[in-house]
Chain A
């Protein structure tokens, strides 16, 4: 059997498994027993694995290795930022968000600011972020399938979109904790297992440092590859902008926030976040190693512009024969598991928001949700087919920058600043979203100018996030009469541990 044959088999297995779990998912979603079910709330460990499984997307699985291979160690800021985002989440957001009782971000906005307007706007932003984040998943799928089987680059995206849509439409409307938790360990295995073999080969070859070789064609010397901020324009600005986007954007991702609801209380939410940090830290050790090994064993990928497929191709290049092909098939299957789990989680979250907040209450229940799911998948699929030039990790970076400029200020100020008003929140989200959205559009369409202007548009977070915060604070201070009536009471509920006996009151409707 050919290498492509193994890969097709691996991908098919993942697709079939996903659809089967979707169809029979109720078996996992139910805990059947005679008694004492209720004490079995989802444990932080399981929930953390589920968050990890849903969070580790194409960008993490393929993009990081490709970036490190092509651009060197300074690209490690991406995985560092994607992990550290949970540190910010842990310190600033996790427990208060859980205590707010909100299921989605629009829920939080409504309960904190007591305003339907803020709710509607944040719902639109959640949908936009979901689309921006789904788009690179479909792109990555196309890339992965094209590189392993030689099909057209559109096919993978369409396949993943179809499977996700079928799954969400007919399998049910939930992304089950147990299944998503399993996805994390699958992805970890899919990267770790081949790596063990490849590391052995690398050690056998004399353990050459990736930094000691110079890759021709792209002009990358070993020194410039290994040292951050060496050469390139506006690198300091770009780096800080990436840091700001990734650190602050995580909390605005719709599929992450929804998972926190499963925690029984604020303390469990914190423990879950801590475990997520550990799990992500473990996972993100692996892709950079692929990047480094790729520099030694597959340097031509950079020149041919296929750096992102290094995870998929490296095993078969380093190991001759069937073993290498099987391991490549394993990483390919892992990549598709990544596309599917992230896309399913996002689709469910986005479809929920679309059906509840955008369509209004005229279409009720399942129909609205299914219609929402169709919209949630088709729009980003179309976008991914139109904008093929943007890298997977870069596109995900834009989603993070957009989330950091809009929903992060809403969450952070909403939780920590009692004088925030609905008008201020709306103004801040409009300004941040407008600027970051404009920059994202310019980048996606490839119309950005050269020089500083281009750098500011390619990585907008460093200026749009402070701008959004400032607008929110400024406008809130200018509209002190609009402070929500029950702001003080809401703040008490957000910040008091559940174990404290206290009259939290019920805010009147």
Chain B
């Protein structure tokens, strides 16, 4: 691995520091690690022209060659270094390793050059492999490729592949989260749709006007829940959907279900994960009231706490075994609790680990779920 081109000023500084910060070999190691640490976050974004553009320079420093190119399987993503006219050759060079998956060395027979001053006579092309599939190539141009350079390029390409696999892992984790939200939408349907329709049916003859109102509420509720929505929504939207849900549940439970909503107007624009409160309210109604004798009350409070919004969903129902709740929050799917773990995970992903669900409950004393949401979090927009 050659040394990167240096400035004389930096040389002087390095001479001054020598002896304080280790030997030349250690310096080389530090430089390598530093370049690697600069490249890793870029590559964690996946292999795009943007991430390639940003990491190519560091990769060239790492390898100490005049020019470096990154390609995907069909086109050039980034070129860094001199003699930019060879950039057009990189796509064709990439083709040569896509089949074999091995690192190869190519020379002027494979990429013609009309510029007499150009000294890039050889190129080491190494494949980038993610999950046994070649997704692109790393190409190092040089005047003459030593065996050491070939080895180095292959190793760096291997390391880049590792980071790209991590990026793939990130992406699949996001996809999993999205799939869970979709599942949550689907999860609402069977119980609730059946119960609502039955309740509405009971009004059709006795109170047709009420039945019509309820059907419209039902239509609006399902439209919101099944809408192709972004990851976040406003608290106002979420509460509106909850109100519709409660109207429908009230039609079913009648006076047995009492609802109190106390909402500070100031927090209505707060951004929250889509469908993060609805499951909590559904839990309160289902677990708190369905098995309870007499009247049950669900209280939903959204309060303004300076930079945060404090939302509590409380019922005075039969309560729950804390251990069971703990298992639900940990993601145990066998616990019959609509999406508690899912909501918790999504809140933590959006706002950080400080903002998980807090559940206070015990058998016979009701359940209180507390959600804290910051008014602003980077990257969270309705």
Residues on A lying within 8 angstroms of B by beta carbon are 26, 29-42, 101-104, 107, 110-111, 114, 173-174, 176-177, 261-265, 348, 351-352, 356, 361, 364, 369, 485, 493, 504, 506-509
User: How far in angstroms is the closest Cβ of chain B from A36?
Assistant: 6
Complex contact B269–A508 (CB within 8 A)? no
B contact residues, total (Cβ < 8 Å): 39
- Cross-chain pairs A/B with CB under 8 angstroms, 28 sampled: A29-B304, A30-B262, A30-B264, A30-B301, A30-B303, A31-B264, A31-B265, A32-B262, A35-B246, A36-B240, A37-B239, A37-B263, A38-B243, A39-B236, A40-B265, A41-B236, A41-B268, A42-B265, A103-B376, A104-B307, A104-B376, A173-B305, A174-B264, A263-B269, A352-B306, A506-B230, A507-B378, A509-B379
In the bound complex, how far is the Cα of B261 from the Cα of A104, in angstroms?
Answer: 28
In the bound complex, how far is the Cα of B265 from the Cα of A302, in angstroms?
Answer: 46
User: How far in angstroms is the closest Cβ of chain A from B264?
Assistant: 5
In the bound complex, how far is the Cα of B270 from the Cα of A42, in angstroms?
Answer: 13
Complex contact A38–B240 (CB within 8 A)? yes
Complex contact B378–A103 (CB within 8 A)? no
User: How far in angstroms is the closest Cβ of chain B from A430?
Assistant: 23
Write out, one digit per residue, whether chain B residues 221-246 have a CB within 8 A of any chain A CB (1) or not (0).
00000000011101111011001001
Complex contact A37–B261 (CB within 8 A)? yes
**B82 interfacial by beta-carbon distance below 8 Å:** no
Known: A32-B261, A40-B265. A174 touches B236 (CB 8 A): no
Complex contact A174–B307 (CB within 8 A)? no
Complex contact A356–B307 (CB within 8 A)? yes
**Interface SS of chain A: helix, strand, loop or mixed?**
loop
Complex contact B265–A177 (CB within 8 A)? yes
User: How far in angstroms is the closest Cβ of chain A from B157?
Assistant: 25
Residue among B301, B305, B307, B375 with most chain A CB within 10 A: B307
> Given the complex, which residues of B lie within 8 Å of A110, measured CB to CB?
378
Using A32-B261, A38-B268 as known contacts, list a sample of 5 further A-B pairs with CB atoms less than 8 Å apart, ordered by residue number in A: A33-B261, A37-B261, A38-B240, A485-B50, A506-B381
A-B contact count (CB 8 A): 115
In the bound complex, how far is the Cα of B374 from the Cα of A110, in angstroms?
Answer: 15
Residues on B lying within 8 angstroms of A by beta carbon are 45, 50, 230-232, 234-237, 239-240, 243, 246-247, 259-266, 268-269, 271, 301, 303-307, 354, 375-376, 378-382
> Given the complex, which residues of A lie within 8 Å of B261, measured CB to CB?
32-35, 37
Residue among A111, A114, A364 with most chain B CB within 10 A: A111
Residue in B231, B236, B259, B381 whose beta carbon sits within 8 Å of that of A264 in the complex: B236
> Given the complex, which residues of B lie within 8 Å of A173, measured CB to CB?
305-306
In the bound complex, how far is the Cα of B232 from the Cα of A507, in angstroms?
Answer: 12
User: How far in angstroms is the closest Cβ of chain A from B268?
Assistant: 5
> Given the complex, which residues of A lie within 8 Å of B266, measured CB to CB?
29, 42, 174, 176-177, 261-262
> Given the complex, which residues of A lie within 8 Å of B354, measured CB to CB?
361, 364
In the bound complex, how far is the Cα of B375 from the Cα of A348, in angstroms?
Answer: 15
Complex contact A29–B303 (CB within 8 A)? yes
In the bound complex, how far is the Cα of B258 from the Cα of A35, in angstroms?
Answer: 12
Residue in A107, A176, A263, A265 whose beta carbon sits within 8 Å of that of B376 in the complex: A107
Known: A35-B246, A103-B375. A174 touches B381 (CB 8 A): no
